[in-house]
Every structure is written in C-alpha cells, then in structure tokens.
C-alpha cells in the first residue's frame, strides 16, 4: 500500500473481530512508528500492549466511559501509549525551549500515534485512538513509573467493519497562502 492510499483509506475502527494480533506484527508496527519525528530526536513515546483479558475487562469496566469501554470489550489487544516526561520541549538546563512549554510532549506522542495507526492499517489492522479515560486509574493499574505519563489508548485488531469515508473539508477551507 502506498502512502496516499494508506492516508485516504485508514479509518477509526470501532467494531472488531475477536481474532488475536500476532506479536511479530505488533513488533513491526512499533518499529515503523519509531521513525516518527520527535523533538530533538528524543523519541519519548513508549507502548504497552495489553492483551490480558482480565486487564482489558478492568480497564473497560472501571476506567473508560461506555463508548470507549464498548470498543475495548471487543479487542484482543489495547495499546497504552505513554511518554517519558521532562525531555521534550526542554533545554539541558531544564528550561523550556519555546512558549509551548511541555506541550511538545503531546505533539510528539500524537505524531507517533498517527504513525502507529497508519502502520497498523498497512498491516491490515484497524485502530482507534481514545483519549477519554481515567488516566490515574489506568496508570496505577499498569504500574507506570513516575517518569512516564499515559497519553492515549489505541484499540487494535482485525476490523469488524470498515466505515465509509467521512466528508472532508476542501483545500480552500484548510489552506491559506500569504
């Protein structure tokens, strides 16, 4: 699949089959996502592949709203996407490099999440990025170290359905030249 096709056909998948995801495929996806750009090549994004059914059930039951828990109950794997804190957007002396402060961390994780999802689609897997969850609860459940922060959850698996392409804004709406 070429880049154009991948970008135009990848969708957020909210219905999955129960088929497990092979670890070698996940390894390949994370390897590809590692090429995402990052602040001064800090490469702060980390992934935790959650496939233990009791952990998935606990996350769905206790730490996510219904619309996300309904997705999590279908998948055999959920990626917890974390980042190493205090590296992105900072100078060596600990000061911020720009007015954006530590917000560059989420920018870098967002780029990595998109790369992860595109790589998954190229491998025939569906994904949806979820951002509404009990961050402290899931961080505690997963035993995240103090130097990491949970940024997103990504459901990943064999798509049960592939939704139609939603309407897109025109270039005229999105772009201006000055």
Q: Nearest Cα to 109, choosing from 133, 90, 85?
A: 85
Q: How far is CA 160 from the centre of its chain?
A: 19
The pLDDT of residue 87 is: 86
Q: Would you list the DSSP string of 129-163?
A: EE--S-HHHHHHHHT--TTEEEEEEEEEE-BS--P
22 vs 104, more confident: 22
Q: pTM score, two decimals? A: 0.94
Q: Give the percent of the chain with pLDDT over 90.
A: 86
The pLDDT of residue 91 is: 85
Mean pLDDT of 12-27: 96
Residue 75, domain CATH: 3.40.109.10
> Could you give the strand order of the β-sheet that contains 77-84, starting from the edge strand earlier in sequence?
45-50, 77-84, 148-157, 126-130
- Eight-state DSSP code of residue 164: P
Q: Within a 10 A sphere around the Cβ of 71, how many other Cβ atoms?
A: 22
**Token pair of 173 as six digits:** 């709406």
The pLDDT of residue 5 is: 92
Domain count within the chain: 1
Q: What are phi and psi of 49, to 5 degrees?
A: -85, 115
pLDDT at 83 over 90: yes
**127 bridge partner residues:** 12, 156
pLDDT at 145 over 90: yes
Mean pLDDT of 75-101: 91
pLDDT at 102 over 90: no
Q: Nearest Cα to 81, choosing from 36, 131, 39, 32?
A: 131
The pLDDT of residue 93 is: 87
Mean pLDDT of 31-55: 96
Q: Nearest Cα to 79, choosing from 122, 129, 23?
A: 129
Give one word for 170, left, alpha or beta, with left for phi > 0 and alpha for psi -120 to 50.
beta
Q: Within a 10 A sphere around the Cβ of 75, how many other Cβ atoms?
A: 27
Mean pLDDT of 82-106: 88
pLDDT at 123 over 90: yes
Coil, helix or strand at residue 47: strand
pLDDT at 115 over 90: yes
Coil, helix or strand at residue 49: strand
Q: Are 154 and 79 in contact (CB under 8 A)?
A: yes
pLDDT at 103 over 90: no
Domain that holds residue 56: 3-174
């Amino acid at each position: 699949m070429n880049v154009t096709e991948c970008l135009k056909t990848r969708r957020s998948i909210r219905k999955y089959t129960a088929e497990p995801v092979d670890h070698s495929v996940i390894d390949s996806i994370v390897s590809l996502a590692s090429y995402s750009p990052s602040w001064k090549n800090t490469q702060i994004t980390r992934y935790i592949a959650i496939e233990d059914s009791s952990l998935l059930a606990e996350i769905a039951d206790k730490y996510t709203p219904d619309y996300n828990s309904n997705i999590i109950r279908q998948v055999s794997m959920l990626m917890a996407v974390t980042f190493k804190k205090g590296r992105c957007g900072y100078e060596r002396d600990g000061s911020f490099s720009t007015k954006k402060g530590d917000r560059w961390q989420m920018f870098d994780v967002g780029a990595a999440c998109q790369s992860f999802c595109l790589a998954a689609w190229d491998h025939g897997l569906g994904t949806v990025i979820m951002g509404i969850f009990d961050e402290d609860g899931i961080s505690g459940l997963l035993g995240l170290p103090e130097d990491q922060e949970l940024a997103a959850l990504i459901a990943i698996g064999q798509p049960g359905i592939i939704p139609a392409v939603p309407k897109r804004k025109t270039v005229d709406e999105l772009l201006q030249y000055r």
